[in-house]
């Protein structure tokens, strides 16, 4: 499965696995990575609460045998109430067995079409019935990236019963029209408004009197890009066909824009064919979907960075590839990283997502001309948020890459060691969200940990090289030389002369206790122990392999 098609839960599990694997090495005692798991868990809890407390019923299905059947994967509380069934009793069961009337109801065919095409479908208000339950339902069905099918539905049985009881009451119908929860309107086949309810007034910003007699073209309710779609829908209405739901961007009277979902139904009123339109404000839903998409992309980027950390041992390649990852997943608009030396001066940089200006910016950094975000990061820990770049950073060479966006900056640090600075730009509306800040801090912490690891490996290499040179030098001296651990008096190394002095081959004495060369003595252990300065002076009784030897 491609990364882009993985669910948020799958990405979270993989991220957790990568961190656990990395923790098995020299950093297994480091616990900072637990925080990102907590952030992810909190995010999941919020969406789970939303799922369980929706007023609409929601059922999630998994296709079997290429859509020949669908089994229940999840079922929220509203759905339990609507269908009078417990979630635990239906999970992993076939929808055909739980709701045997689903094919006659027409919804099963919708499931199959949505599963094959991936296009959402609206199943209009219809009566569902079997031997157990009966009721009127309205369904909206769509497909998840994971391949699962989701049905969001409402029980409108009580409303239908009321409609059937009072269907001849014009006053009742007028009340229903005026106080419907969505925007209801009636227009002719040329798009001219004939009537609209109270929600239609609130949604468009126009009073009913301002709408009646005017077309959506004259009022400029729709953008130019949406007009061809609207004309096509009217043509379908002219042929007697219902349409929707279709998404449009609506231009309000106050010039604000809202996202709406419109369905239309040709109706006969006093012998004349008109169109009943139902428009639902989906602005918040679209924002939530976009927010979820954004955080999924950020999580995907963090996971890829952690995969890189496991493999990469070169600091400059690490920061360069990290910047590329952060922007290629579209989690961040652009990003840059600067590495610092012990004195806080920039030694190297990497960037991604900038059209121009970074070369000048890089020169400024190396000259010590730091932008506002970095100055603040030197003074404060955590994420530095600049949510109005236009006002605060107009003299920065990267200004054009941040207009209309927010900036997050912070230290790349591990413990008290500062390795560099990280900066990214994101949509302004997400800048101050707790989840945004925690994920950014965790990302900076991951990079700090990686640079610490690389530095540690480099130190080990240097120490090994120094020891190799020291050993080569000591092998050429005339005296016998050996190293022992002060804590346990175990021989760590000897030169060849020392080993030969006592009848051993080079390397044979390593790992043995120093007593193998100490002759029996009446001295106390304290008197015979090598001094803590690492030296032993004077004559000592020592034993050559197979005989005594005066040293």
- The average pLDDT across 374-391 equals 80
Exposure string for 415-431, b = 16+ CB within 10 A, e = fewer: eeebbbbbbbbbeeebb
- The average pLDDT across 195-210 equals 92
Cα end-to-end distance, the chain, whole Å: 72
Q: For the chain, what is the mean pLDDT?
A: 83
The CATH-assigned architecture of domain 167-281 is 2-Layer Sandwich (3.30)
- The average pLDDT across 148-162 equals 91
How far does CA 443 lie from the centroid of its chain? 11
Of the two residues 112 and 44, the one the predictor is more confident about is: 112
Number of H helices and number of E strands within the chain? Answer: 21, 19
DSSP state letters, 441-460: HHHHHHHHHHHHHHHHHHHH
- pLDDT given for residue 537 in this prediction: 44
CA–CA distance from 52 to each of 38, 59, 72, 120, 531 (Å)?
A: 21, 11, 16, 22, 71
Instruction: State which CATH number among 3.40.190.10, 3.30.930.10, 3.30.450.20, 3.40.50.11890 fits the domain covering 54-165.
Output: 3.30.450.20
Collapse the DSSP code of 122 into the 3-class scheme (helix H, G, I; strand E, B; otherwise coil) and give the result.
Answer: strand
Give percent above pLDDT 70 in the chain: 83
- Which residue, 80, 8, 4, is CA-closest to 42? 8
Span(s) in the chain for CATH 3.30.450.20: 54-165, 167-281
- pLDDT given for residue 533 in this prediction: 36
Per-residue pLDDT tens digits for 101-141: 999 999 999 999 999 999 999 999 999 999 999 999 999 99
- pLDDT given for residue 495 in this prediction: 82
Q: Are 265 and 242 in contact (CB under 8 A)?
A: yes
- Which residue, 281, 193, 178, 283, is CA-closest to 234? 193
- pLDDT given for residue 474 in this prediction: 73
- The average pLDDT across 319-344 equals 89
Q: Which CATH class is domain 287-458?
A: alpha beta
Per-residue pLDDT tens digits for 487-501: 888 988 888 888 888
What pTM value is reported for the model? 0.52
Task: Report DSSP state, residue 182.
Answer: S
Tokens describing residue 550? 């005066």
Q: Is residue 419 very low, low, confident or very high in pLDDT (cuts 50, 70, 90)? A: very high
Residues 6+ apart with CB under 8 A from 384: 373, 376, 377, 408, 409, 410
CA–CA distance from 384 to each of 235, 351, 421 (Å)?
A: 54, 18, 11
**Paired residues of 192 in beta bridges:** 215
- pLDDT given for residue 499 in this prediction: 83
Helix or strand (DSSP H, E) at 78: helix 77-83
Q: Is the pLDDT of residue 549 over 50?
A: no
Give percent above pLDDT 90 in the chain: 41
User: Which residue is listed with tokens 């509380």?
Assistant: 77
Span(s) in the chain for CATH 3.30.450.40: 287-458
Residues 6+ apart with CB under 8 A from 397: 357, 358, 360, 361, 364
Of the two residues 470 and 177, the one the predictor is more confident about is: 177
Lowest mean pLDDT: which of 281-290, 401-410, 434-443? 401-410
For residues 250 and 257, give the distance between their C-alpha atoms in angstroms, rounded to a whole number.
Answer: 6
Top-ranked range on mean pLDDT: pick from 50-59, 271-280, 465-474: 271-280
Of the two residues 38 and 414, the one the predictor is more confident about is: 414
- pLDDT given for residue 179 in this prediction: 86
Q: Is the pLDDT of residue 528 over 50?
A: no
**Paired residues of 466 in beta bridges:** none
Helix or strand (DSSP H, E) at 486: none
Q: Is the pLDDT of residue 172 over 80?
A: no
Per-residue pLDDT tens digits for 247-296: 999 999 999 999 999 999 999 888 899 999 999 999 888 888 888 888 89
Per-residue pLDDT tens digits for 316-330: 999 999 999 999 887
Q: Is the pLDDT of residue 214 over 80?
A: yes
Q: Are 275 and 267 in contact (CB under 8 A)?
A: yes
Lowest mean pLDDT: which of 208-212, 229-233, 372-376, 534-538? 534-538
DSSP state letters, 488-544: T-BEEEE-HHHHHHTT--TTTTTTSBGGGSBPP-SS-HHHHSPPTTS---S--EEEE
- The average pLDDT across 137-158 equals 93
- pLDDT given for residue 77 in this prediction: 92
Lowest mean pLDDT: which of 30-34, 253-257, 336-340, 394-398? 30-34
Collapse the DSSP code of 344 into the 3-class scheme (helix H, G, I; strand E, B; otherwise coil) and give the result.
Answer: coil
User: Which residue is listed with tokens 């106080």?
Assistant: 179
Q: Is the pLDDT of residue 16 over 90?
A: no
**Paired residues of 340 in beta bridges:** 346
- pLDDT given for residue 256 in this prediction: 92
- pLDDT given for residue 4 in this prediction: 66
């Amino acid at each position: 499965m491609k990364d882009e098609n993985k669910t948020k839960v799958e990405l979270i599990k993989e991220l957790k696995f990568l961190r656990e694997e990395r923790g098995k090495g020299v950093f297994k005692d480091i616990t900072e990575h637990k925080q990102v798991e907590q952030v992810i868990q909190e995010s999941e809890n919020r969406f789970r609460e939303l799922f369980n407390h929706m007023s609409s019923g929601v059922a999630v299905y998994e296709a079997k045998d290429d859509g020949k059947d669908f089994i229940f994967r999840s079922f929220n509380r509203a759905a339990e109430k609507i269908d009078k069934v417990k979630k635990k009793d239906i999970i992993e069961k076939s929808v055909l067995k739980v709701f045997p009337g689903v094919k006659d109801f027409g919804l099963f065919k919708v499931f199959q079409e949505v599963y094959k095409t991936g296009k959402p479908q609206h199943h209009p208000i219809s009566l569902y019935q079997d031997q157990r339950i009966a009721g009127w339902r309205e369904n909206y069905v769509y497909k998840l990236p994971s391949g699962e099918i989701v049905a969001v539905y409402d029980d409108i049985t009580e409303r239908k019963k009321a409609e059937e009881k009072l269907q001849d009451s014009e006053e009742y119908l007028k009340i229903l029209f005026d106080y419907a929860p969505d925007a209801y309107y009636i227009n002719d086949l040329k798009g001219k408004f004939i009537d609209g309810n109270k929600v239609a007034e609130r949604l468009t910003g126009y009073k009913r009197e301002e709408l009646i007699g005017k077309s959506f073209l004259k009022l400029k309710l729709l953008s130019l890009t949406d007009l061809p779609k609207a004309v096509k829908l009217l043509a379908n209405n002219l042929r007697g066909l219902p349409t929707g739901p279709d998404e449009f961007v609506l231009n309000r009277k106050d010039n604000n824009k809202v996202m709406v979902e419109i369905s239309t139904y040709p109706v006969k009123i006093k012998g004349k064919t008109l169109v009943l339109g139902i428009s639902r404000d989906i602005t918040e839903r679209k924002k939530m979907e976009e927010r979820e998409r954004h955080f999924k992309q950020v999580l995907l980027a963090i996971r890829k960075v952690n995969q890189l950390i496991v493999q990469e041992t070169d600091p400059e390649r690490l920061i360069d590839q990290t910047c590329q990852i952060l922007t290629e997943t579209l989690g961040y608009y652009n990003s840059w990283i600067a590495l610092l030396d012990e004195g806080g001066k920039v030694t190297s940089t990497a960037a991604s997502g900038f059209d121009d200006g970074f070369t000048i910016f890089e020169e400024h950094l190396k000259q010590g001309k730091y932008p506002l975000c970095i100055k603040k990061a030197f003074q404060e820990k955590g994420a530095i948020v600049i949510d109005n770049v236009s006002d605060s950073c107009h003299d920065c060479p990267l200004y054009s890459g941040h207009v209309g966006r927010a900036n997050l900056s912070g230290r790349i640090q591990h413990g008290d060691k500062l390795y560099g600075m990280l900066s990214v730009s994101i949509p302004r509306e997400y800048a101050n969200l707790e989840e945004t800040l925690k994920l950014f801090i965790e990302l900076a912490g991951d990079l700090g940990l990686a640079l610490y690891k690389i530095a540690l490996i480099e130190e080990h290499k240097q120490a090994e090289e120094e020891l190799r040179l020291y050993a080569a030098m000591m092998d050429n001296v005339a005296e016998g030389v050996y190293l022992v651990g002060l804590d346990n008096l175990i021989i760590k190394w000897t030169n060849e002369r020392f080993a030969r002095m006592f009848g051993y081959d080079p390397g044979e004495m390593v790992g043995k206790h120093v007593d193998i060369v100490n002759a029996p003595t009446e001295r106390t252990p304290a008197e015979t122990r090598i001094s803590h300065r690492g030296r032993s002076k004077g004559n000592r009784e020592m034993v050559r392999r197979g005989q005594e030897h005066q040293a």
